[in-house]
A and B are shown apart, each in its own frame.
Chain A
Amino acid sequence: MRKIRFIALLSATALATGIIVSIPVAANAAPACDGKSPIQSCIGVTSDGAPYSMMVPANFGGTVALYSHGYRYNIDIPVGIPLIGGYKVTNTPEPVPGGNMAVAQYLFSQGVAVVGSGFARQGWNADSAIKTNVELIGLFKAAFPKTTKVVAWGSSLGGFITQALAEKYPTLISAAAPMCMADNVAAELTMAGDFLWGLKVLFDPSIKGTNYSAGAAGNAEAVTDIVKIFTVMGKLQASLATNAWPDTSSATGKALAAGGVPPRSALLLLGLMSGIPTQSAHFDSISGPVGPLKLTFPLALSPALAILENGTTAAILAVLATQDVEQQAGGQTFDNTKTDYASRIENERVIFNAALSGNTVIDALLGALSPANPGAPRAVGNSVAVSALSALASNTGKINVPTILMTGLADPITPAGSSQRVVDAYAAQFASEKLAAFAAYKSSKSYVAPVKKLLMLWNTTPGKGYTTFTDAGSPITSTPAATGTNHCNFSSAQLVLVAKTLIAASMNGKVPTNGAIVTAARKAGNLVIDPLLRAPLLKYYNQ
């Protein structure tokens, strides 16, 4: 989808500026520019082989926006696999989010240039991407000496890369905007891995899930797992009507089935213990159809359907990202030998008690997933690989430059808790800065208040509910995903607001805190600025 939009952007730009001529460029050489107006396009390759694209408006005022794209799978996906089939690994540069024309046009109208790389490798590539970005900043400045400010932004893993860049190289950039930001790799893969492990031990023990082989064999294993995930999720969807467990269920799963445990409750518990949101693109856990299911649907069914919708993408990520990271780390990284899933859902088991079918069922499920059950063997990580994983690029949430975060409250891939972690870290940082300012006042008698450097924009789900139903009472899933749901599901207006705020913050050295930004956020659609809103952290941090 992103690639398609990006191609559309290039086409539109080509219409305005003439056909972009493909110029072979040597790695790390100066970019090859077409010299056109009103938008000059440049391409090149960094020293690590990452292709990049620069677009510079004729009214370039000295500010360039460096965009980091999100996670791209690092293996080709065969045609025929739902949702992602036919994907080919690509390092096409992406200088604006998803090639969004409205965003590009806004930036150009402000005299802001855009630049972005496709990065040298795909998969979990934060380390190499940060290096690429540092080099790219230098290349741009060399090519356009008028450059005075670099602002960095990115989505998903690109958001993570952006935050890490701002933490490590604060002198290179003036402001940052990590959007739908991924968490540190261990936290992200723990969420995805917990869910995938649960699917495996209850519903299909033939799913490999971890410890993929090296090279092409590992790729094939991953693809096979994806097919199995789609299959088992399809069976779980069907089970909502029949209450029958998938025929691929493990002995543990079959024992639970015999004990009367509904598979929808098992699926929901897996989602809750992993931290997957209970609102999805089409299921709000609020609405019910007219008729006898008016109450039962939101209370007992909708949360499981939301996990079904969200969990499918989470499980696919689990397979592909786990396989990629294992290749980098040299072995299995997922390890849940010490995970206490019962403590993870202490609160959720009360809130979703009806959908989980009561304490007796919950306890049966937790018992089945406990280390005491040999039928649900825990995943044991390779200690060397786990160490290698922890050595991959990470961020602490330290805010060095004015930063704008934006995320969906029900993002299933990069849960809102990823941003909450940064918000929490900054709260502590700001409190320290205030204390330091007060201490300075004691000696100088001149109080200089620290400036606010973090703005959090929450993309909320519609509060009144959004699940729609046919006249027969079936939920409709063909409508566009609700705001605040799905991964990085932002409107052009929301992205433009971030761009606008980002540019302003780079000029002012601080983020806006007045009513104007609250109004602008509301007008951009569904964005809320609420310092007291608190998204749950990823479960990794609570284990």
Chain B
Amino acid sequence: MAINWFKYSAPTTFYGLAGKLIPYFAVSAVVLFVIGLYIGFFVAPTDYKQGEFYRIIFIHVAASILSMFLYLVMAGYAALGLIFNTRLSSMMATAIAPTGALFAVISLWTGALWGKPMWGAWWVWDARLTSELILLFLYLGFIALHASIDDPRRADRASALLAIVGSVNVPIIYFSVKWWNTLHQGSTIKLSGTSMHVAMQQAMFITLLACWLYAIAVVLARVRSIILERERHTTWINELPEVKQ
């Protein structure tokens, strides 16, 4: 039986679907966080060079990857909204921005915490760090621009342009350690292999997956509120049990 996926591109049907999916993503995220942190703190060995400080990477790497990836997803949704004028795409872009910004904050904060004992400085104007900081500013700019325009459809279009133009920063962050001579280390995990201990890899990937599931759950919850807010004048919203109460 073929599933009509376009059916879920309408806020009317997506609202219900999102409500059903949130508990699965949220519970899976909690379980994976517990497993990932258990492996990260109790199974993974101490690093011979960095000591216990390296354990910051389990959250730092996950937050950094998500901050970049969420930006691309946000820009993708914003572009879809701009090109096809689909309401849900713009709502999704608006819902992703705060979560992406918070992951960028976590990435910068945990990076500073790792930098102090390893480099002897909380912050250096290194290409990787600076481009990640610019990513945070792009998220904040997107949120501020959207909030400053009263008409939501005009706000969607204006902020979509910023999101699309800003997406050029994501490959700059990723390749900064290759293009420039940076203090920040290059990729430890490459296609050719890695020197990381297997337990460290497991902890990192499980925490990354947990952060992913958390982000999906919280974005779905936020987009439901945005749908309620934007569609409040329609009849289907008045038919919802939570509104009738």
Instruction: Tell whether A pairs with B.
Output: no
Interface residues of A (CB under 8 A from B): none
Residues of B within 8 A of A (CB): none
